[in-house]
């Protein structure tokens, strides 16, 4: 294997990891707000919740398209395998996102008869989140494949582990959503978000702990990765820093007169560390147990052609994304919308 | 995977992509129209342009959301339905779609936020720029996706190794033989479709004696575009057809239901092609006209269906009839443009109710023509997924019959209900009409600032509930 066909797949895996992470964080808090709709039923409050994300949701969701498009472009074999193996949860996620996405516009146009789109928004978010968690769980437990093509059954993904991952992600996105609300709102709604954030944080800590034990217990390869010497020493900072981030998150939620961004930043840090943990568990696999980054990689010329554009365009994309967030910075207040 | 599951996978993909294409073909033209309105507003200072821009932005927001959610489905369905295709063609198709995401999707999705919510949050010129960037994004998106589709029709710049396509020359891949024609044809179609919608909505108001100033502006702008683009589209379509005759002769033979390549083709106005008997029933045609159109010579010969093995021929009925629907609507649009331009020239346009009233029902024409055109080109590519390279049967995912059937039913139920609601809401926004006065006078700032709030207020008063 020459340097090019060794390095390019690694670079692409890193780019996709950045893309997926950005999606999980950005659309994560968006879906989290949808999950909160189940608990906040008053219309003015729901309006504010939605307005905190209305200008951004579309850009946020585009990272999911980058995930699909990037996977197809850089790792076509993995793309085909994952989409066939996790067919049901992926289609369910997409259909749920249809409801969630159109609700952003339909809910306003339908007023005052927006109840259905409130449900579409809240259930769309809940189901999409759950399905994403199941996809993650299904990936972690591995897909049976031969020559890069899926050979398993329609419901192979359906295990207690994948279902638990689905439930855990609901708690995770709810944490991102509540901490985002703390950052973007004030007054009574912010207080409500602080209370909800505490519950979400506790659930996330418990769920993370369970998954962190469950994964190595069920996959020997992952246990070997974490608990062999000297890895156990090398990787032990990951759970420890995660615990510290959780502590900072709690403190941020609890401190009324503090930096309102802190809980959100700490929650994001927890997600980043969790993702790092997944990477440590599964390197060099792209589809755990089935395809390594090199086995799944597209032709080097394809990866190179895409890389040139990506290195040029990704900074520009990040630049104008930041610009739009900056444009709509500050607290969102009831009845205000954007002006 | 058995044949039935393959058939269902095809139905499912055809269904979701047919639904999806409605929204981008509208967004491409509408984004450009809104940007034009805003630029004219900045240049002339005339308030009606901004009023119209706001009005159409509300409609754009609803339509764009439907385009986005149905588009995400597609970016994953290539894998859920066509995993083998992803492996075989991924090296070539993948980067094209990747570039679409990087150069177009982020641009339009991000600046849409400013376009919708930035009316008073950013300086006017920056807001106008955002609208231009959204329009640019939709066009760039069309560029890449049509390049990818054209490569599947006329693959070039690649080599096959162990049954997998590897890129050799990216320029040849992106600008493959049918791409310039397909892109011009689709891009013009998108503008034409939106222009007809604008013209139709303008006519609807004028006939009903509402929003007189705004409706006249819409009629002028819409009609001007239709009068120019509809004839232009005839020439582009002709060039596209010649290109298809060169690279995919069997598709053209199917479009014309032309069996015998040793005789000049007649243009069939109607026929019922019979694939089994290898002939047409109930033919009504104009002799030699198909030869004239395709070869530009009265006695020109072009290949007939019998020149190809039966297993290499596309399904005839959809290709044949969809082609007639598309061309028929195209000719109708030329007539609409011609008559309208004549009335405009005679200064009778705004009084000619006999002309304007039927136009109020003309808004779906462009969409039907676009869907018909895509059916022609996609069904006409069969039995191949990548023409001459990968057969559709060999491109599918290993997914079970029951799973595809269940999701197909879900797609049909959810798409028809969600998107019917969307069209209902768009119609309601149109019924309410441009809301200029409150904004022009500075009125309630919340109405001015938030197009959706404005829409909400509009809906409230429309339903008479007050607030």
Q: How far off is chain B from A140, nearest CA to CA, in Å?
A: 19
pLDDT digits (tens, 9 = 90+) for B57-79: 999 999 999 998 998 888 888 88
Domain boundaries, chain A: 12-327
Interface with B, mutate which of A105, A301, A303 (most B CBs under 10 A) = A105
Please give the pLDDT value at position A89: 94
Please give the pLDDT value at position A249: 95
Nearest to A338 among B101, B106, B450 (CB): B450
Number of Cβ pairs < 8 A linking chain A and chain B: 269
On average, the pLDDT of chain A sits at 91
- Contacts B401 to A, Cβ<8 Å: none
Rounded to an integer, what is the distance from CA B174 to the centroid of its chain?
Answer: 20
Give the Cα separation of B428 and B272 in Å (integer): 41
Nearest to B97 among A69, A97, A324 (CB): A69
Contact B428 A109 (CB under 8 A): yes
Please give the pLDDT value at position B438: 42
A70 touches chain B (CB under 8 A): yes
What is chain A's alpha carbon radius of gyration, rounded to the nearest angstrom?
20
Asked casually if ipTM beats, i.e. exceeds, 0.90, the reply is no
B402 touches chain A (CB under 8 A): yes
Nearest to A80 among B58, B87, B101 (CB): B87
Q: How far off is chain B from A322, nearest CA to CA, in Å?
A: 10
Please give the pLDDT value at position A243: 94
Contact B459 A336 (CB under 8 A): no
Contact B398 A151 (CB under 8 A): yes
Nearest CA in chain B to A317: B106
Would you tell me which CATH number, out of the four given (1.10.150, 1.20.1630, 3.30.465, 2.40.128), belongs to the domain A12-327?
A: 1.20.1630
Contact B76 A101 (CB under 8 A): no
Nearest to B449 among A112, A310, A338 (CB): A338
Interface with A, mutate which of B64, B79, B141, B397 (most A CBs under 10 A) = B79
Pairing label, strands B158-161, B279-286: unpaired
Contact A79 B90 (CB under 8 A): yes
> Phi/psi of residue B167, each to 5°?
-70, 140
Interface with A, mutate which of B113, B144, B395, B454 (most A CBs under 10 A) = B113
Rounded to an integer, what is the distance from CA B24 to the centroid of its chain?
Answer: 6
The answer, yes or no, to whether the previous bond of B414 is cis (omega within 30 of 0) is no
| Chain B residues 110-149 with a CB less than 8 Å from chain A | 110-114, 116-122
B90 touches chain A (CB under 8 A): yes
Q: Which residues in chain B show pLDDT less than 50?
A: 437-467
Contact A112 B116 (CB under 8 A): no
- Contacts A99 to B, Cβ<8 Å: 414, 418
Nearest CA in chain B to A54: B113
As a 3-state breakdown, chain A gives helix, strand, coil percent values, each rounded to 5, of 80, 5, 20
Interface with B, mutate which of A47, A54, A60, A72 (most B CBs under 10 A) = A72
Contact between residue B15 and residue B408 where contact means Cβ atoms under 8 Å apart: yes
Please give the pLDDT value at position B44: 92
Nearest to B65 among A74, A105, A306 (CB): A105
B397 touches chain A (CB under 8 A): yes
Give the Cα separation of A253 and A261 in Å (integer): 10
Give the Cα separation of A249 and A258 in Å (integer): 12
- Contacts A71 to B, Cβ<8 Å: 79
> Which 8-state DSSP code applies to residue A335?
T
Nearest CA in chain A to B82: A80
User: Could you report the average pLDDT of every consecutive run of 10 residues in chain A (339 residues)?
Assistant: 86 92 94 94 90 90 88 88 90 93 89 89 96 94 84 89 95 96 92 95 95 90 90 92 95 88 95 93 88 90 91 92 90 64
- Contacts A329 to B, Cβ<8 Å: none
Contact A327 B121 (CB under 8 A): yes
Give the Cα separation of B184 and B181 in Å (integer): 5
């Amino acid at each position: 294997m020459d340097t090019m066909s060794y390095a390019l797949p690694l670079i692409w895996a890193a780019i996709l990891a950045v893309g997926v992470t950005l999606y999980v964080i950005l659309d994560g808090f968006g879906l989290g707000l949808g999950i909160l709709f189940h608990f906040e039923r008053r219309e003015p409050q729901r309006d504010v919740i939605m307005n905190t994300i209305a200008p951004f949701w579309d850009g946020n969701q585009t990272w999911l398209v980058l995930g699909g498009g990037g996977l197809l472009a850089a790792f076509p074999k993995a793309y085909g395998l994952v989409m066939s193996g996790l067919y049901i949860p992926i289609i369910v996620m997409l259909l749920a996102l249809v409801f969630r996405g159109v609700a952003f516009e339909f809910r306003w146009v339908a007023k005052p008869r927006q109840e259905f789109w409130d449900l579409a928004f809240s259930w769309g978010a809940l189901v999409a989140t759950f399905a994403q968690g199941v996809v993650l769980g299904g990936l972690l437990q591995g897909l049976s494949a031969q020559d890069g093509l899926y050979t398993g059954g329609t419901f192979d993904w359906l295990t207690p582990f994948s279902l638990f991952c689905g439930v855990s992600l609901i708690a995770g996105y709810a944490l991102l959503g509540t901490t985002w609300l703390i950052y973007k709102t004030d007054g009574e709604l912010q207080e409500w978000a602080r209370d909800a954030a505490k519950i979400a944080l506790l659930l996330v800590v418990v769920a993370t702990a369970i998954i962190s034990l469950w994964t190595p217990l069920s996959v020997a390869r992952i246990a070997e990765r974490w608990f062999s010497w000297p890895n156990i020493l090398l990787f032990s900072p990951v759970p420890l820093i995660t615990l510290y981030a959780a502590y900072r998150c709690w403190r941020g939620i609890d401190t009324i007169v503090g930096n309102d961004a802190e809980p959100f930043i700490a929650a994001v840090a927890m997600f980043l560390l969790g993702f790092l943990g997944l990477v440590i568990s599964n390197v060099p696999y792209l589809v755990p147990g089935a395809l390594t980054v090199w086995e799944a990689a597209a032709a080097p010329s394809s990866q190179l052609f895409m890389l040139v554009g990506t290195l040029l365009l990704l900074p520009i994309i990040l630049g104008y994304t930041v610009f739009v967030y900056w444009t709509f910075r500050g607290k969102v207040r009831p009845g205000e919308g954007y002006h | 995977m058995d044949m039935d599951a393959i058939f269902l996978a095809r139905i499912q993909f055809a269904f979701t992509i047919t639904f999806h294409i409605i929204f981008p073909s509208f967004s491409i033209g509408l984004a450009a129209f809104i940007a034009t309105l805003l630029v004219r507003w900045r240049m002339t200072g005339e308030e009606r342009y901004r009023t119209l821009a706001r009005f159409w932005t509300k409609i754009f927001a609803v339509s764009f959301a439907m385009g986005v959610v149905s588009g995400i489905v597609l970016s994953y369905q290539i894998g859920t339905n066509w995993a083998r295709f992803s492996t075989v063609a991924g090296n070539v198709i993948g980067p094209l779609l990747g570039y679409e995401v990087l150069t177009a999707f982020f641009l339009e999705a991000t600046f849409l936020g400013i376009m919708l919510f930035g009316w008073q949050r950013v300086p006017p010129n920056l807001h106008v720029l955002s609208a231009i960037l959204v329009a640019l994004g939709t066009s760039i998106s069309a560029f890449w996706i049509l390049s990818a589709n054209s490569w599947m029709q006329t693959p070039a710049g690649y080599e096959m190794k162990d049954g997998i396509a590897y890129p050799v020359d990216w320029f040849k891949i992106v600008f493959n033989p049918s791409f310039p024609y397909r892109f011009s044809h689709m891009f013009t179609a998108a503008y034409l479709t939106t222009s007809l919608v604008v013209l139709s909505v303008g006519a609807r108001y004028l006939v009903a004696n509402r929003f007189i100033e705004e409706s006249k502006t819409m009629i002028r702008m819409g009609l001007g575009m239709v009068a120019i683009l509809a004839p232009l589209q005839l020439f582009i379509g002709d060039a596209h057809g010649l290109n298809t005759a060169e690279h995919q002769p069997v598709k053209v033979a199917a479009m014309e239901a032309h069996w015998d390549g040793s005789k000049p083709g007649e243009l069939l106005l109607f026929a019922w092609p019979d694939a089994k008997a290898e002939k047409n029933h109930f033919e009504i045609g104009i002799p030699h006209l198909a030869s004239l159109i395709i070869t530009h010579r009265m006695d020109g010969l072009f290949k007939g269906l019998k020149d190809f093995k039966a297993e290499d021929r596309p399904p005839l009925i959809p290709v044949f009839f969809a082609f007639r629907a598309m061309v028929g609507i195209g000719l109708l649009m030329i007539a609409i443009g011609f008559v309208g331009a004549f009335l405009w020239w005679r200064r009778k346009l705004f009084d000619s109710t006999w002309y304007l009233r039927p136009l109020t029902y003309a808004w779906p024409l462009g969409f039907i023509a676009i869907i018909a055109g895509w059916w022609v080109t996609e069904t006409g590519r069969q039995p191949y997924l990548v023409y001459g390279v990968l057969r559709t049967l060999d491109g599918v995912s290993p997914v079970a019959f029951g799973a595809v059937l269940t999701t197909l039913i879900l797609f049909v139920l959810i798409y028809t209900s969600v998107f019917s609601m969307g069209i209902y809401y768009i119609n309601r926004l149109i019924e309410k009409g441009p809301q200029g006065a409150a904004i022009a006078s500075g009125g309630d700032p919340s109405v001015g600032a938030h197009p959706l709030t404005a829409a909400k207020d509009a809906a409230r008063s429309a339903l008479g509930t007050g607030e």
